[in-house]
Chains A and B, each alone.
Chain A
């Protein structure tokens, strides 16, 4: 009995030490996990990153690909509430694409603007965009910067 308990404890500890891959992702059966970075000022990159996300979902299927777009630096403009692409962002969110917004950049922009920029409601603030990308890569996501 004691041996069984010790073995179970060891098993639980081992499982807890693994990267929380399945726990983080709400697409446990995804064949591919992609993080798309947008950090450019060039507005055409906004269209490009959304096109890439859309193409990935179309190719693999909604449940077979896990896509997250992380925006930081000038690229955070994509996540502004009034951005002309907000309709596409809503559509992609419905398809399971996630959007993350760098809080460091938000803080910097708040200082420059004099007020906090309003974000798209589909965007989730993350403490640091670069760190979020590294975390996702550690979880097995592939980084693509269109």
Chain B
């Protein structure tokens, strides 16, 4: 039994961390705490998803927010214009994001390194431009939800509460997926691709398929999170749905906690959000928080390129098996 707990230590730690963040506002009963926790969990879910592509497969996507935005738009449209319920809309948001990733994967995953990273930025901007001109989605002004919709979920207050439970659920789901990938044969193939794609292919890893599925897996949950977040917001517009700097912040979070580990992005996202909260309310730093995240990324890349968990793994070989 202890061996089994040890074997899955990073999974238990990760799930416990998420539950802790989730339970804290339920205990305090403070709506403000709940909003803070929602933001942190959203960040954990997004960063852990991107980690499947960036950390495990070694492909840096600078435009990952496109899946969040697209899922948000699809979900929002289905709820507001088609009268779908929230659950189905979230599912549809995830499927839309996964489908986009699949098609993109066929097209741009043959690019490597900086070329792939640049292409992902291009994709984000292209989708944003498309939605800007797409009338059913409201074009540049976006869409607003009729508040009557919330009545279906017991009024705005309980809709917010429900959204919070759903984000906890989605975040737990990401952790399970992330852990499964990291410890599966499929994941071993991804790690091999990250280390040396040509050598991996010679050893039999079907890199084009593996990369495409990693991309799809990393996109589905951001799509679902997007659908949930914009339902909760009640309004959506291109600038809110596709902010490029959110993509960059996701990368900072992963690098901070430790790319390629299950636990790293959780710690990174929680740590970064806490720091950002502090910076935003501090009169000295409130206008500088993006500059600080940029400087932070630079410091991490220069001094602890493997992030917190990676550093611990390197420093203490004994914990290497526990912290994956």
A binds B: no
